[in-house]
Chain A
Amino acid sequence: MTAVLELKNISKIYPGVKALEDVGLQLFSGEVHALLGENGAGKSTLVKVMTGAEIKSKGDIIFQKKTYNFSTPIEAQQVGISTVYQEVNLLPNLSVAQNLFLGHEPKRFGFIDHSLMVKKAKQLLTRFNLDIDVTVDLSSYSVAVQQLIAIARGIAMSAQVLILDEPTASLDADEVKVLFKVMNQLKSEGVAIVFITHFLDQVYQISDRITVLRNGKKVGEYITDKLPQPKLVEAMLGKELKELTGSHRAESSMTQKRENEKLLRMENVSSKGSIQQFDLDVSKGQAVGLAGLLGSGRTEVCKALFGIDRLNEGRITLAGLKLRLSQPSDAIHAGIALCPEDRKTDGIIGPLSIRENITLALQARLGWWRYLSKQKSQILADLYIEKLLIATPDADKPINQLSGGNQQKVILARWLAIEPSLLILDEPTRGIDIGAHAEILSLINSLRKGGMSLLVTSSELEELVAFASKVVVMRDRKKVKELSGHELTSQHVMTAIAEG
């Protein structure tokens, strides 16, 4: 049996970064092939190279025994490789039918046949149990429906290879079932499917084979049934689990005393369209974890606490004082700091120097009139560069030239400079190389020991369980469980997320 699509020795080099190094992949028709790896392992880059969205630096792409050099997604689509990307890459301003057929609209006499297009669109969607009005704008449907439409579009291209990049991230259990049904059906029709996901149980449910990437290199290719889950995790992380989690549990009883002093109290907090009746207590020097799937409301809790999302009801008190938060500066003045989830759009100020990025929050709190002189800010910047081991020749380097881990450290430094009483970290270790990852974790630990209260969200449960003394689990914008003490294991958290 020959592969329908074969990638040989693919390398992709960005200026300064090797995103992929000699990666190979074989894909047979009628299989579901899971492509796994941590954030930043190179999965997305590999997909982009496969589909022509990025041009490879080296290597061969062989599709049905012919070598191709795709330079645009259209070329790949035309031979039969279609992709459904992680974020829904459809057009919210076009109708559902137009989205399904953009680029290959059914035509009559050279003009688009709208009624035929609508009919075909309806047919296509019945496969997904979707009976919706296809003539209205895509934006009028939920993200989950949009995701199914995106997958339907991939199938409509009569693809031989279908690449699904994190298709289940925004789907609920029933929708996942529908998706898997369709995937199985396609499989039996001989379509080869590449399936990228973070949910390992789904990998075992649907995939036939697994390829694992780590740091831009291929770790191995496995048959799903013959690879037990712990081994898979090991392959993905590159070290044994214990090593990562460490053990500090013994200390937690020591800090227990201090934890009785309540610092933050959220009571019955609701915010339109984001969270409902949420309660939370954080004590002094306590690290509280927030767990839940993407879209469960964990980021929204952070945003509500930081004055970004307005509250509809409920109250927030910090050290006994009721807070009125209408913008982040209110929260900052109260002593709350937030390292946002999306570092690039909400965190770093790209072209500005590391020094400016570190001192800006302090400067903003001091106000425009009390200007920190260059010397003072230089001392401050040098201090944190040294303390947090930020790898840079000097503080004048623009922050966008640093690696993700170092950028995250600069943002942490920015907040440490204003000495917050509560530090919120939204996905602090996402997209960060392993080394910086460990450093940031130990930093969190020492901050907590130093008496700072922390609220941390993370999708990496092992990590969360390791440093938090309490984990709040969210689902569908509500708090479903609060785990602490001996109940607090990643397995319990996982079940709470799954079952509510």
Chain B
Amino acid sequence: MFTRRYLPLWITTSLLVFLFAVGAFHFDGFGSLRVIINLFSDNAFLMITAIGMTLVIISGGIDLSVGSVIALSGVAVSVLISEYHWHPVWAFIVVLPLGTMFGMLMGLIIYNYRLQPFIVTLAGMFLARGLATTLSEQSLEIDHPFYDFVSDFGFQLSGGAWLDLSTMTFVVILLIVIMLMHFTSFGNNIYAIGGDEKSAQLMGVPVKRTTVTIYAVSSLLATVAGIIFTFYTFSGYALAAVGVELDAIAAVVIGGTLLTGGRGFVAGTVLGVLLMGVIQTYITFDGTLSSWWTKIVIGLLLFFFIVLQKLLNHTSTART
């Protein structure tokens, strides 16, 4: 039982280690701490988004709006900073709760009106993207001393690796969410709803509150990811992060979370993002492979993991 539960996780980990080893063998400088740390800092926003997505998928739902929420949060922050000359910190303080409310609203609609999560969050995706374009169609540059300060902040590690604030934020969020998932009732409730919503309700799980919170957390994390994204580009753009929701879903699945809900690990998702990152790095280092191979390989990986999930599920039902 234990091995079956963790099998997808083991496969992801071994694939990750294997690919990394192959990369390190083929290319100079691939197998360095710097590349590893860069995997984290380049993908911090995606990892944070994917953590939120993991919660949603474990609960049996899906959130297609995260990419748009990232863009919206970036645009909102840059409008407040560049056009209204707010201090970035104030902008963050205003934008974060607004992002959370966006998710709460979706959760409420999903629960109250018994609508499928994917279609409601699809509407949310349009809405957030629409709001972002309404705020500003052009890319808005952010020029603020605070941004320079934050992006210069970090720690020098050995081998030229640089631990920046986005990675640190990610680590803190990861730890908090792991605690939430495995050491609080909220976490248990998420797994319970993903297992069987009706039974969970009968067993006294506050389904409504939990559902709303899950989507709120997902949007909150996407908003945080949007803010981090502005530190990469020093700007906010309404058409940024198109398709990130798909990357996040892919990472969650590759990380071993069951798409039908009820099973999965936040840590697995991080491995999933890392695996996708390593593939990308490999293709960049290689130079002769074209970028579209990333999409194809990720598609194949997804296929492999989905079929694996099916097979594992099949054998487990056959046994009982």
Contact = CB atoms under 8 A, between A and B. Distances in A.
A142 B320 CA distance: 6
B279 interface: no
A141 B2 CA distance: 14
Interface of A: 53, 72-74, 77, 83, 85, 89-94, 98, 102-103, 105, 110-112, 114, 136-137, 139-142, 153, 272-273
Interface of B: 1-2, 5, 179, 182-185, 188-189, 191-192, 194-196, 198-206, 262-263, 316, 318-320
A48 B136 CA distance: 53
A458 to B, nearest CB: 27
A112 B204 contact: no
Interface of A is mostly: loop
Nearest to A111: B183
Contacts of B203: 73, 89-91, 102-103, 153
13 contacts: A91-B191, A91-B200, A92-B262, A93-B195, A102-B200, A111-B179, A111-B183, A112-B184, A114-B183, A137-B5, A140-B1, A141-B320, A142-B320
Given A137-B5, A139-B316, A140-B320, A94 B204 contact: no
A421 B182 CA distance: 58
B276 to A, nearest CB: 26
B316 A77 contact: no
Contacts of B198: 89
Contacts of A111: 179, 183-184
Contacts of A102: 188-189, 192, 200, 203-205
A103 B195 contact: no
Contacts of A112: 182-185, 188
Interface of B is mostly: helix
Contacts of B320: 139-142
Contacts of A136: 1-2
A142 B185 CA distance: 27
A105 B262 contact: no
A105 B188 contact: yes
Nearest to B207: A72
A308 to B, nearest CB: 15
B259 to A, nearest CB: 13
A73 B1 contact: no
B201 A73 contact: yes
A273 B318 contact: yes
Contacts of A77: 204
A112 B316 CA distance: 28
B205 A93 contact: no
A114 B318 CA distance: 30
B137 to A, nearest CB: 44
Given A98-B188, A102-B192, A90 B199 contact: yes
